[in-house]
Chains A and B, each alone.
Chain A
């Protein structure tokens, strides 16, 4: 060990210690959040880490930034091994992995270090060019801090350059010091050896070795102060995330409403889960979520990225005060941007909240709960979970919500539907169709195979009633033994839940489950994706376990089994653009069934896709209770979406959701177009052979 090694050891211990201290602080801040278990189903979680993390599945959804990031990420994975070697060698100069690795593997490893350093350097250069010259739209907005990104990218570039240069100079001094597998280093080495003496080269080697080693330690210690903390937290975050499973995707958290608590829902970081806070550490502000957000796209205040950034900022503002962590150098860390409260007194800090101080009511109510943000996030952040918990606080604790929602809540309570329609009219659509109710069947001592859950739109909205009838006709044509609840059907409360009114939701959900259980219902079909999601995915939280099938899947199965009596295909060719429902698609992965149903029933049909389709589909604007709220800011989401669908040149727009039906129909009208909007069941029903029930 030389004096240099001792100095390095000293520097290393200080750097590592400082890093460990920061890690400990960041972990202690997380403990402000409420506890929740996230260690179930370790295999599913590991699969997520491999697919989403290591394999960069979501990163690649962006065809330009995707490969660029993957190159840097994989480079980092590979080069971390080399970094360990370099750091150990800094103390024990004789150390090399060659000491215990088989020759072939070591050679491969050694070559990878050289190759990936060049790859990363290339990717980082492109990243810098992209950020400083190309200015992609999603990297703007939300008062983003750009210096941080430039520092990080420069550091990474610096690491690669110093690594390659130190190798090159070493080779210029001792041509045999490194094996020939490090091709790029050898190129540099021969370049240097022709221009300088070995002594000079050796001196430069030492300079660049130290520069590289110090840069590694600086980089490590800079991370806790940077949005690039995601380098450390992302894989951990993906492991603990539930957005791609385990568990039911998109199901909202059940709440204990009997809990003796001061406040329901979240208005500040302590009322969020530690996992929501970890999301804050994991966000590198790439903006994929915001770029996909229908509210943001159409000019609303909401940016899902800002929600996550604000959560982190608030944590960084508040945690040092409440944990009595007096090392104020931590405070500005990760709290750059939107608001600067670094000068605030403790009292002021405690007077702030995540809600209002950082995140406004308007942002929270702009969300359509379409799940586009969650689907896009490469590190499995759950933006929607934070929004939902904050909406709960607004409604359950503070009774603050857009005034249009009060009649909706009251109507749900009084009439069992979000609209002020009389519950007695619920089954009016079925008049003359000879469809039995569960009660009638029970009276006759019969039990249907299937319950047709009509939903409030399907029961009361004139346009949606036509969907109801079309689907009922298909089932009758296929001799399905089904019944409806008739006047006993009442909303399951999903709109209330999405709008933050968990109390009303739980009352309604429990009532619905009680009704279903009274009739011993096992299988349910519905043409409303919201009913489908709620009853299939969220009812189990309250002991309601049913097989719930969306009509698109149900019809597709009937068609597949050739049970639907169809006319022979005829008529003119029809081009149809199908609009994906969020609660069918992103919530439940049903993308093909609606498309396939139409193709099977009407082989002459040509399906065209809008640029945003399937899991990238743009919401119609009705979800998350937005159906019941005014849309006064920016462009209307349904207009944006309809324009896109009309631009495909389709003769008709198809939907598989009564809410999408309303929004798309309105959008078509607003565009001054006459293009018809059909539900997929209407497309299929139009092909039923004559002699079938009308």
Chain B
């Protein structure tokens, strides 16, 4: 199969974030960036599908400045065959603008399957994948937690609140990948070396106009410091009260 995977470079989710002086961005100093977790699942899913099919091509795409090349290389070190950077000075906050660039690029690519992460850690919006599919006019499963392709027909599972849908769809199709589909492999050194020789094409992204701007970023209010509320079962009523009124988890 010919599979496209659209990936994003995001900061490590374990990081402790600070707001940049502008007040409308995070302070990137000291942050480690890598392929987004969900993008990683998508790349792995594509590789496994092609391995199972016994051949095919996996092409990775990323929108952004030149630092996304590192992320594209990583995908190739995992096993993707080639990569395309859709060059843009920055990644817009408007997912539809990104979807337009991807749709323009993928339209004539002849792909059987286009995969995305369910959402990216940074924007946490989940817009691009499904919107790209709409722009391309192909079937789309959003946030698939299982995915198989057999005889040109796809089958996916998608988690709902307290239930799950089992879906089938014809190819070509677009799928956004939830965790659970495939745990991304750890690139071997052999893969890293091979990735250095794989083709990486860079071309301008045909972004749509961005109609969303980030006005402000702020950190959520700090969690109250942990405390020992008492000893023995006598402390239980206090705990339940706190869970109800303060933590609001009951």
Contact = CB atoms under 8 A, between A and B. Distances in A.
Interface in B162-200: 183, 185-192
Contacts of A264: 188-190
Interface in A61-77: none
Contacts of B189: 257, 264, 395-397, 502-503
A323 interface: no
Contact of A263 (B34, B187, B190, B192): B190
Nearest to B12: A414
A397 B32 contact: no
A415 interface: yes
A11 interface: no
Given A422-B14, A422-B15, A397 B190 contact: yes
Given A403-B183, A414-B32, A414-B34, A422 B188 contact: no
Given A395-B186, A399-B186, 7 more contacts: A257-B189, A264-B190, A398-B190, A399-B187, A414-B14, A420-B14, A422-B16
A410 B32 CA distance: 11
Contact of A398 (B15, B188, B192): B188
B26 to A, nearest CB: 14
Contact of B191 (A399, A406, A422): A399
B192 A503 contact: yes
B186 A406 contact: yes
Interface string B91-104: 00000000000000
A482 interface: no
A424 B186 CA distance: 25
A406 B32 CA distance: 17
A263 B193 CA distance: 11
A257 B193 CA distance: 9
Interface in A412-450: 413-415, 420, 422, 424
Q: Is the interface on chain A under 10, 10 to 19, 20 to 34, or 35 or more residues?
A: 20 to 34
Contacts of A424: 16
Contacts of A502: 189
A397 B12 contact: no
A453 interface: no
Interface string B13-33: 011100000000000000010
Interface string B118-138: 000000000000000000000
A409 B188 contact: no
Interface in A360-409: 395-399, 401, 403, 406, 409
Contacts of B192: 503
Contacts of B34: 413-414
A409 B34 CA distance: 14
Please indicate which of the listed interface residues A399, A401, A413 has the most CB atoms of chain B within 10 Å of its own CB: A399
B9 to A, nearest CB: 13
Given A414-B12, A420-B14, A422-B14, A396 B183 contact: no
Chain B interface size, as a band, is 10 to 19
Given A414-B32, A414-B34, A396 B16 contact: no
Interface of A: 257, 263-264, 395-399, 401, 403, 406, 409-410, 413-415, 420, 422, 424, 502-503
Interface of B: 12, 14-16, 32, 34, 183, 185-192
B17 to A, nearest CB: 11
B213 to A, nearest CB: 30
B188 to A, nearest CB: 4
Contacts of B183: 403, 406
Nearest to B32: A414
A414 B74 CA distance: 14
The 3 closest A-B pairs by CB, nearest first: A396-B189, A399-B188, A503-B189
A414 B16 CA distance: 12
A203 to B, nearest CB: 71
A474 to B, nearest CB: 30
Highest count of chain A CB atoms <10 Å: which of B14, B16, B34, B187: B14
B185 A399 contact: yes
Contact of A415 (B14, B187, B188): B14
A657 to B, nearest CB: 27
A457 B183 CA distance: 27
A628 to B, nearest CB: 14
Contacts of B12: 414-415
Contacts of A403: 183
A410 B184 CA distance: 11
A395 B185 CA distance: 11
A395 B188 contact: yes
A398 B188 CA distance: 6
Nearest to B11: A414
Contacts of B190: 263-264, 396-398
Contacts of A409: 186
Contacts of B185: 399
Contacts of A415: 12, 14, 32
Contacts of B15: 422
A157 B127 CA distance: 84
Contacts of B16: 422, 424
A420 B34 CA distance: 15
A509 to B, nearest CB: 15
B217 to A, nearest CB: 19
Which one of A395, A396, A424 has the greatest number of beta carbons of chain B within 10 Å? A396
10 contacts: A263-B190, A264-B188, A264-B189, A395-B186, A396-B188, A397-B188, A406-B186, A415-B12, A422-B14, A503-B189
Contacts of A422: 14-16
Nearest to A424: B16
A396 B34 CA distance: 20
A422 B32 CA distance: 11
A503 B15 CA distance: 24
B219 to A, nearest CB: 14
A208 B152 CA distance: 83
B196 to A, nearest CB: 11
Nearest to B15: A422
Contacts of A399: 185-188, 191
A260 to B, nearest CB: 8
B67 to A, nearest CB: 16
Contacts of A396: 188-190
B208 to A, nearest CB: 33
Nearest to A409: B186
Contacts of B32: 413-415
Of B12, B14, B186, B187, which is in contact with the most chain A CB atoms at under 10 Å from its CB?
A: B186
A403 to B, nearest CB: 7
A406 B184 CA distance: 9
B201 to A, nearest CB: 25
A489 B14 CA distance: 18
A274 B191 CA distance: 28
A535 to B, nearest CB: 23
B235 to A, nearest CB: 23
A115 to B, nearest CB: 59
Nearest to B79: A399
A396 B188 CA distance: 5
Contacts of A398: 188, 190
Contacts of A413: 32, 34
Nearest to B78: A399
B127 to A, nearest CB: 26
B76 to A, nearest CB: 14
A496 B26 CA distance: 31
